[in-house]
Amino acid sequence: MIGWATVVAGVVYSAFLVTPLFGTRLDPARSYVSELAALDQPHDLVFRAVDALVGLVVVAAAVHLVRRPGARAVRWAGVALGLFGVATLLDAAAPMTCAPSADAACAAAEASRSALAFGVHEVSSVAANGAAILAVVLLAVARSRGRTAAQPASPLEGAMLVGLPLVAVPGLLVVLEETVGLGLDGVVGYVQRVQVLALSGVLVTIGLVVLRGSRWARRRA
């Protein structure tokens, strides 16, 4: 059940791909995905519901990984995944009040704040990025352990290893852009969307790993 739910959550997490169907006016090059859930956006409830659903499922998957016997790295990955799920729930509960990429007044208010003047949403977004990166690193380590150099990587392990840089590099760039500023205003939306798609793939992969582990356990019973 947890495995299939995580697969579905991974697919749903990429819901921003269907934004053209909603007629959104946000520029994908300059806007963060979280701006779709800003209170001044016409379909904010849809994207907040997506965040809430994904957050709840990820927390449940994290509990499953923490309680699952096996490598310590997997359990710590579960802890990091749980932090990502909680931060995603906070994103849904405390959305942005406006979309700065589409509202000059909102952008001016954002620009006037000091680098340390973060709100709940900004803190949860940074925490989600950091936790997601840590979870993927730990899962990649766990999947690679116990395999000799002569043994080929499994498809699931390969997917995790491919997902690692696609989550980590864009995620670090987004965190640095939000905290110290890197001058990526014109492309930060695309950078973050790469990361979100990679996270969607990672969540699907985690769900498949859980499913495979459950089937193996049933065969052993």
* pLDDT surpassing 80 at residue 178: no
What pLDDT was estimated at residue 12? 93
How many domains are contained in the chain? Answer: 1
What pLDDT was estimated at residue 213? 64
What pLDDT was estimated at residue 117? 44
Report CA-CA distances (Å) from 124 to 87, 92, 129, 214.
5, 10, 9, 32
* Tens-digit pLDDT profile for residues 151-170: 566 676 677 777 778 888 88
Domain that holds residue 49: 2-220
Predicted TM-score (pTM) of the model is 0.82
* pLDDT surpassing 60 at residue 149: no
* pLDDT surpassing 50 at residue 115: no
